[in-house]
């Protein structure tokens, strides 16, 4: 009976390790509910999502772009384009 308990204990320990490893791999790989966006090219506009806060550039009286010191909220759905999209 001692051997049977020992084998059961080894199987249980092995199963626990497998479950732990599976959970760790699942957490490291991310869940299916997560979406990751990568900006690859500058030939297409994107739209802002909810609650976007960022520092933005504005044109001064000389026509130069000046980066603001504070962050502003950009409304959801606004388009963001690359500089090559805009004629200057």
Range 79-86, long-range pairs (CB < 8 A, 24+ positions): 79/45, 79/46, 79/47, 79/48, 80/45, 80/46, 80/47, 80/48, 81/45, 82/42, 82/43, 83/42, 84/42, 85/42, 85/45
pTM: 0.48
Asked whether residue 57 carries a pLDDT value surpassing 90, the answer given is: yes
In the prediction, which pLDDT does 33 show?
Answer: 63
Residue range 12-54, pLDDT digits in tens: 666 677 677 766 666 666 555 667 777 667 778 888 999 899 9
Domains of the chain, residue spans = 1-36, 40-77+80-84
Give the burial class of 69: count Cβ atoms within 10 A of its Cβ; 0-12 exposed, 13-18 middle, 19 or more buried: exposed
pLDDT score for 28 = 64
């Amino acid at each position: 009976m001692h051997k049977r308990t020992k084998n059961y204990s080894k199987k249980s320990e092995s199963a626990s390790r497998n479950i732990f490893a599976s959970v760790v791999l699942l957490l490291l790989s991310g869940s299916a509910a997560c979406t990751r966006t990568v900006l690859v090219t500058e030939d297409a506009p994107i739209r802002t999502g909810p609650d976007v806060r960022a520092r933005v550039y504005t044109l001064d009286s000389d026509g130069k772009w000046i980066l603001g010191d504070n962050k502003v909220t950009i409304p959801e759905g606004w388009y963001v384009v690359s500089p090559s999209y805009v004629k200057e």
